[in-house]
Amino acid sequence: MDNIRYKEAFLLIDEENSGFITINDLHFLIRALGYTPTNNDLEKIDIEFINNQNIDYLWFIDIMSKLSCTKYSYEQIENAFFTFDHDRYGLIHIETFKTAMMNMGEPLSENEMCEMMKDLPVDEDG
């Protein structure tokens, strides 16, 4: 799913359809895609591009796959989880999760939900 968003974002920035973006465009895209890199994170990426001013899509995808900065803070993730774990047991019932995911924000289709669910750790209690 992220690769589709990445491709759309890359194509929007590559207005001339050259197949390349600049390092400044890359910094912008990383932030526009919801990541919160530190200056140190960006400097590590920049080192790869000292002698190259252009980044193609495959290089962009490689960078995004290695990005170590997070999209959300630990506290934001924890608060989101506890929205569904009212008793604070560290567990969310699968049906509660499924219902919420299919109805919050941009609704997921049954197929999208099934695809996401196949990777979730579900115990015998659901």
Instruction: Report whether 38 contacts 69 (CB < 8 A).
Output: yes
Helix, strand and coil content of the chain, in percent to the nearest 5, comes to 55, 5, 40
Residue 5 to residues 9, 27, 94: CA-CA distances in angstroms? 6, 16, 27
Q: What's the predicted TM-score (pTM) here?
A: 0.53
Is domain 2-66 annotated with CATH 3.40.640.10?
no
State the span(s) of the chain assigned CATH 1.10.238.10.
Answer: 2-66
> How large is the greatest C-alpha to C-alpha distance in the chain, in angstroms?
55
Distance in angstroms (rounded) separating the CA atoms of residues 2 and 7: 9
The H or E element containing residue 56 is: strand 55-56
Q: What is the pLDDT of residues 62-91, one digit of tens each?
A: 888 877 665 666 676 777 778 778 777 777
Instruction: Report whether 21 contacts 55 (CB < 8 A).
Output: yes
> Comparing 37-41, 65-69, 92-96, which segment has the lowest mean pLDDT?
65-69
Helix (DSSP H) and strand (DSSP E) numbers for the chain: 7, 2
